[in-house]
Every structure is written in C-alpha cells, then in structure tokens.
A and B are shown apart, each in its own frame.
Chain A
C-alpha cells in the first residue's frame, strides 16, 4: 500500500487499466462478429439452452450432495490417515474432466472396457446423465474445499451448547452448523456452475448439445458469426453466475476451537464404504483404463514433443500472466477504481476457452502476423487465466502488514523503492502460486488450444482429442497419464505455495 496525495493516481493504475481493457477486447470482437448474424434465437437454441442449464443445475446439486458431507467428514471427523483422505478426496481436481469423460465413456456401455474385462453388462455413460455424473465427480472438490474452509472457521462451542441443551448431533449439525456455512457451500456451488458452463470436452464426449459443443460445431463450419452469437448467449449466463458469485462472501466469524467427532469402528467402516465409490469412479477407474490401454497398445504414436509443447506454452502463459497480474493486484489494493479494473480482468475467467478461441481466431485473421502463432495462443491463455494470478498475488499482498511499507517510507524510501524492496519480495510466494495455477490450467485447456495453436503444434490435450476423434482410444494412455501427472504436480505446488483458506489441505492451526 502506497501513500499518495488525493489528486495523484497510484502508479499501478495506468498499466492496470490497459490490462483490464485488454481483457474486454474478446467480448467487443464477439459483438462485432455477432452483428452480422440475423438468426438470434431459434428452436434448436432453446434445446441447447435447456441442456446447458440442466447440466449446470444437476452438476451443482450433485456436487453439493457429495461435497458437503465430505467437507464435514474431512473437517471434523477423526479418522486414521485423515490427511491422506483429504488429499485423495481433493485429487479429482488434478484430473481434467474431459479425461474423466473419455475414460468413463470408454469403460461403460456395451462392449466397453468393463464388459470386455469382466463380462458384466454395463449401462452406457453418455448424454445428460453421463455428462452430469462426470461433471459432478470432477467438480465436487470445489464445494468440499470451500465448505470445509467455512467449517474450520466456526467455533465448536455453539455445537457443544446445542448438544448440552439436548439437541442430537445430526440435528445440531443441520440446524447450527450448516446455516453458518451456507455461504461457503454457495461459493463452491457457483464455482462448480462456472466450471460446468465453460467445459467443452465433457459435453462433446458425452454427446450432449450444450453451448460449448454447439459453438464448436459452428466454428468448424466457420460460421464465426453464429458461433459469436452463441458465445454471447453463453456469456450472459456466465455473467449472471459471476454476479451471484461476487455477492457471496465467506463468513466473517471469529474462529474458535474445532469441532471434533470420534466415530466408532462400524461408523468408520460405513464412512469408508460411502467414500470409496466416489474415489473409484473419479480416480481409480480412469487410471485403470489408461493402464489397460497402455498395456495393450504401448506408446505407439506418441512423441515427447507433445509434452514439451504443452509445458512450453503453459510456462510462457504463466510468466506473462504473473507479470501482468502484479500491477492489477496492486491497483486493486490501492483504491476503488483499481478494484473495478481488477473485476474487469475477472471477466476473462468467465469466458469459456471456446469463446475466447472464436474471438481470437477472428483477431488473428485481421492481424495476420499473429494468426496461428504461439503468441496468440499464449495471449488466449493469459486473458483467460490472468484472474487466477491476480487473485493469488493480491491475496498475498493483502496479507502483508502495511506498517512494513510505512516503515520503509518513513525511513525515506520512495513508493517505488518500498514496492521493490518490501512488497515485491514478500509477494513472491503468491506469484509462484499464481504462476503454478495458470500453468496448470493452461496445460489442460483444450478448445482454445485446438483453435489457436500453430500448425504442427500438438500438445497433450490436442493429441488426446485427436485420438478420441479418430477412435484410437488406446493411444490416449500416455498423454492422458502425463496430463494427470503434471496436473497433480501443479496442484501440489499450488496447494503448498498458496495458503488461501479455501484450497488449503494442510492443517493450519486456527486459534
């Protein structure tokens, strides 16, 4: 935080403003493109809208149904190896949902891998039901982690008081605890909603016509204006969810002693039995399917350059995102106008990759020196994932003791020197965490990579998509496993670097 006279803008403002305006460019492009299109809305659109909303609602409900009990379990229940349980239950975050969709689609159904290996007939996993199941399995950790963070911030003495006054444990959890973590649940649910709206691979693999899938079909017919129109319709929904999310803020209770529950042996067994199916479906099955494929087909067709390309592009995106995030984060701390600029960059995260891709393809065609270059792809990543870096840098910077900067200023340092010598070194941790997060997301990103990548630039994600489309499922094993492995590493780095309460799986003492 810098000292300033009322008339002078903080130094970070001009830069932050430019970056914030840049984040809005894709939307402007979409408006320009969509103005060509006469067809605003037709019967098919209504079906697409219904599918999209149903998938979103089912996924959010499912994620809450699974996520909240698991949050209670991981926050309060004393189980052997509880840290391990927590990490395992958060692990689906490390698996991109399209990988889950791919493997579950291949495992179930007639002639699927499960039937091939065991002879047991299995129902097919596709359509709205299949897409919902997959999305729930890979997004419930959002709800679990936000809810758990809220739970850990509560004071157990209220529950103890309720128990003392004769309320049963279940009733007191339901009537005393849950109402106070409702905002945490809602925050997680809205994250899930955003994730569902922007996902492309899962509906495409499950053959459900949602906005993202239909936009891709339009793009493939180079119906850019129709794709732009659909993109804007999708953005309206995304904007609504983003607005709701901005209304929901975590509880502000003074944290107290944690509630601790000691289950009996049978209860422990029951808990384990109810948790295991989730883990089997979300983690064991996909990895097992990849294992089978790897055993059957080996590494044929795969080149190491795919992994290198993924890492290379994602690394560039991570570096640029953090560089741009620093001024935005500092502007956000400096004042109201800066906070508005920060909000503007958040828009990019709500823009699904496919929408960003549509807009940037058009920009590329207008600016041929950018068309099909790595630069344009990295720009897409940066615009989409900048908010992750901003959030991470800002939360670290906010956590700084402002008196340190004041002390530096009193001792004669200029605002710039104070920033360079005090604020910056102390926010490095947040920058690393932000970079890891951007890296992680960029590496998993599929549709924008398909649309914008340079010719011959095959990444793990695009190669995975290619073998899916060609029906050479076995070749997905290596890129799929690598993607999961790199995601897991990124997630571990993020979790250890970033001590934001929501995504903290380590036991930080609250008292």
Chain B
C-alpha cells in the first residue's frame, strides 16, 4: 500500500473510532481486535443456491458488485429480490411470522432496517473472525456493516453560500429556504427516527410540518440532489454520496455539501448485511462484500465510506474528524413504526 493511502485510511480509522455513536456501539460483546481487509483471492468459492434481498441497490453499483461475485463463482445460483430497504425488512418479518423463509441474506442500505430484522430474532450469529475485519466500533455479533454514510445538506452553490446555511437541522425549519426531500426513502426515515430519539416526537412532528410547507418531494435522494443542482430547490436532505457521485460525473455541478452540528442532520449511518439462514454459504457471501476489492470499489465508485480496516475512504469527502455526528445507537433506528405513524399523522407520507 502506498504511504499516502495508508495514512488516509489510518486517519479514517481514527476518525471513526472517535465517533461518539461508534463508541457507544462498540460496547457489544465482540472484542475490538482488527484484521486488515482480505482479498477475494483468499476467499472460499461460493457454490449453491442463495437468495439475496437487496434493499434498493444504489442503482448499478451494487449490481456491478453482485455481477462480479457471480462471475467469480459460476456455481453460485444467486437470486436477487430488489426493493425499498424498509419494505424488504418488513417483508422478511412478515414472512417469518407466516412461517415462510425466502431470503438467505439481507443487504440493506440502512442499519435501521437491519435492526428491525435482528430484533425479530431472525439474524444468524456471524463468526468472530469475520466481524474482526471491521473497524472498531462497527463490529456486531449478528450483522456486518458494509459501508457508512453521512446525512448531509446538499445546497445549490449558485443560489446560496455556505454561510447562509443553518448549522442546526432544527433551525432549518425557521429558514426561508426551499427544500427538497424524499420522505418515502429509508435513509430519510432513519434520520427522522434519530431526530425523534434526540428531540422527542413533538419537536420532530413540528419540524416535519414546518419543512413540509416549503418542501418538494422526490422519489429518492439522487432525485433530491439532482433537483438541488437544477435549482428546483435551494437545499436538500440526502446522504453524502449522491452529491459526490453527481459531482464526479459533472465537476461543474452547482452543488456542494453542508453539515449540521451535533444533531440528526449529520447522523452517521451504515448499510449492512445479515444472514437469515444457517450454513457457510451466507457467511461466505458476506465475506465477499467485506473483501478489499469490493470495499475499495464501493468507496471509489459509490463514494461510500468503507468500514473494513485498511481501505481508503472516498475522494472529495471532508475528513470525518471535521464533522460532529450526534450520539445515537444505530440499532435503535429500527424503531421505524412510530416514525412512520408520526410522518403520516403530520401528512408527509
């Protein structure tokens, strides 16, 4: 590894290690031992039938990863069911209740959905040496975070300068900016859950109502960022990587990222994967997602934050040490039902 890349990744490890949220989570039973990312060359071949529930696969990028895994493992019969992350999590729970099991692994773009399935007692324990590859603070006994993402405020640089943007998410409600959001999107719902946990239901409901008056709805958060860039709205609510992706394809795009401070507006969340059926195949499949190649690909192409030790973070992202995410236990984000009820009662869903 090059010296610079190494320093980069070292910095990222350090930054993620000091995240308060990460530290709170590290209290899990898995020991904080780290192993560097493994190359796919060292992984066992995958053979047999495997059904993957893939929560809204980030367009073609997750698909490319899966294609590459399939190509490497011709004896793997991988069936993929795609859907909204929260929908698939709910589906898995409903299926289990009805005594049906269709999915062997569940790859979700959001840890809230993972928590929902894990809380229902459906996740299988992962081997300790597998979770040990993950950065300290991201090691869980029942699921493996794959990549991290930060809630951000993408803003139109033609209309706003950075200092016009409130640094508190709650203050955004009192501003006169027009806002783009995707309330039906899982990451957004996790963010609202975090806000509920931090500020209470009443304040969250008021905030949603206030924003709703000036908000424009989009189907997904890529749509939000594109809307911001087009100037349809001044500012948006979206995960960090949509903006970085848009800018990488269109360097002169009129959009940049702003971060709030110490509230749900800059929540650090993780997408992850869990095994729903026993056996080596699901676990070995998960190993592929944690391999050095897949992690690097997701960092460089999807601009997601790799969570396996020793992989370079995405380009164009501010150092994690410069942002101040709130103290939230990610697994509590599974408490989605009250969030949906709240969003519905104030008329945003």
Q: Which A residue sits closest to B182, measured CB to CB?
A: A207
Residues in A whose Cβ lies below 8 Å from that of B17? none
Residues in B whose Cβ lies below 8 Å from that of A205? 219
Q: Which B residue sits closest to A463, measured CB to CB?
A: B82
Interchain Cβ contacts under 8 Å between A and B, 25 examples: A42-B344, A43-B347, A44-B345, A44-B347, A109-B232, A110-B230, A111-B229, A207-B218, A217-B184, A220-B83, A220-B87, A220-B184, A222-B93, A223-B340, A365-B94, A366-B98, A371-B98, A371-B100, A455-B79, A455-B80, A469-B56, A470-B60, A471-B220, A471-B223, A471-B226
List 7 A-B pairs, minimum CB-CB distance, nearest first.
A222-B90, A470-B59, A220-B87, A111-B230, A471-B222, A456-B79, A365-B98
Partner of A469, one of B80, B94, B217, B220: B220
- Interchain CB contact under 8 A, B102 and A124: no
Q: Complex Cα distance A366/B111, Å?
A: 29
- Interchain CB contact under 8 A, B226 and A111: yes
Residues in B whose Cβ lies below 8 Å from that of A471? 59, 220, 222-223, 226
> Is A312 part of the binding interface, using a Cβ–Cβ cutoff of 8 Å?
no
Q: Complex Cα distance A301/B57, Å?
A: 13
Mask for B216-246, Cβ within 8 A of A = 1, else 0? 0111101100100111100000000000000
Supply 20 further A-B pairs (C-beta < 8 A) apart from A220-B86, A365-B94. A42-B344, A43-B347, A109-B232, A207-B219, A217-B184, A217-B349, A220-B184, A222-B87, A224-B94, A365-B95, A365-B100, A368-B98, A371-B100, A455-B79, A467-B59, A470-B57, A470-B220, A470-B222, A471-B223, A471-B226
Q: Which A residue sits closest to B223, measured CB to CB?
A: A471
Partner of A44, one of B51, B87, B217, B344: B344
Tell me the smallest distance from the CB of A469 to a CB of chain B, in Å. Answer: 6
Residues in A whose Cβ lies below 8 Å from that of B223? 471
- Interchain CB contact under 8 A, B51 and A472: no
> Which range contains the number of B residues in contact with the other chain?
35 or more
- Interchain CB contact under 8 A, B340 and A301: no
Partner of B81, one of A47, A124, A220, A455: A455
Chain B's interface: helix, strand, loop or mixed, by majority? mixed
Q: Complex Cα distance A345/B125, Å?
A: 50
Say yes or no: A472-B59 contact (C-beta < 8 A), given A111-B230, A222-B90, A222-B91: yes
Residues in A whose Cβ lies below 8 Å from that of B86? 220-221
- Interchain CB contact under 8 A, A47 and B347: yes
Residues in A whose Cβ lies below 8 Å from that of B81? 372, 455-456
> Is A204 part of the binding interface, using a Cβ–Cβ cutoff of 8 Å?
yes
Tell me the smallest distance from the CB of A451 to a CB of chain B, in Å. Answer: 9
Q: Complex Cα distance A44/B183, Å?
A: 15
Q: Complex Cα distance A12/B272, Å?
A: 56
Mask for B41-84, Cβ within 8 A of A = 1, else 0? 00000000001000011111001000000000000000111111
Mask for A190-233, Cβ within 8 A of B = 1, else 0? 00000000000000110100000000010111111000000000
Q: Which B residue sits closest to A371, measured CB to CB?
A: B100
Mask for A293-323, Cβ within 8 A of B = 1, else 0? 0000000110000000000000000000000
- Interchain CB contact under 8 A, B87 and A470: no
- Interchain CB contact under 8 A, B340 and A469: no
Residues in B whose Cβ lies below 8 Å from that of A110? 230-232
Say yes or no: A221-B90 contact (C-beta < 8 A), given A42-B345, A110-B231, A466-B82: yes
Q: Which A residue sits closest to B92, measured CB to CB?
A: A222
Tell me the smallest distance from the CB of B24 to a CB of chain A, in Å. Answer: 27
Residues of A whose CB lies within 8 Å of any CB of B are 42-44, 47, 109-111, 124, 204-205, 207, 217, 219-224, 300-301, 365-366, 368, 371-372, 455-456, 466-472, 475
> Is B99 part of the binding interface, using a Cβ–Cβ cutoff of 8 Å?
yes
Residues in B whose Cβ lies below 8 Å from that of A372? 81, 102
Q: Complex Cα distance A301/B82, Å?
A: 15
Q: Complex Cα distance A210/B332, Å?
A: 32
Residues in A whose Cβ lies below 8 Å from that of B82? 466
Q: Complex Cα distance A301/B226, Å?
A: 22
Tell me the smallest distance from the CB of B341 to a CB of chain A, in Å. Answer: 9
Q: Complex Cα distance A469/B56, Å?
A: 9
Tell me the smallest distance from the CB of A446 to a CB of chain B, in Å. Answer: 14
Q: Which B residue sits closest to A208, measured CB to CB?
A: B217
Q: Which A residue sits closest to B336, measured CB to CB?
A: A221
Tell me the smallest distance from the CB of B5 to a CB of chain A, in Å. Answer: 30
Partner of A455, one of B51, B219, B229: B51
Q: Complex Cα distance A43/B345, Å?
A: 8
Q: Complex Cα distance A186/B295, Å?
A: 60
- Interchain CB contact under 8 A, B102 and A221: no
Residues in A whose Cβ lies below 8 Å from that of B80? 455-456
Q: Which B residue sits closest to A220, measured CB to CB?
A: B87
Q: Complex Cα distance A459/B99, Å?
A: 28
Residues in B whose Cβ lies below 8 Å from that of A470? 56-60, 220, 222
Residues in B whose Cβ lies below 8 Å from that of A366? 98
Q: Which A residue sits closest to B340, measured CB to CB?
A: A221
Q: Complex Cα distance A88/B58, Å?
A: 39
Tell me the smallest distance from the CB of B238 to a CB of chain A, in Å. Answer: 12
Say yes or no: A207-B220 contact (C-beta < 8 A), given A110-B230, A366-B98, A455-B80: no
Tell me the smallest distance from the CB of B216 to a CB of chain A, in Å. Answer: 8
Residues in B whose Cβ lies below 8 Å from that of A365? 94-95, 97-98, 100
- Interchain CB contact under 8 A, A371 and B60: no
Q: Complex Cα distance A118/B219, Å?
A: 27
Q: Which A residue sits closest to B78, measured CB to CB?
A: A456
Q: Which A residue sits closest to B63, measured CB to CB?
A: A301
Q: Complex Cα distance A366/B83, Å?
A: 21
Tell me the smallest distance from the CB of A438 to a CB of chain B, in Å. Answer: 26
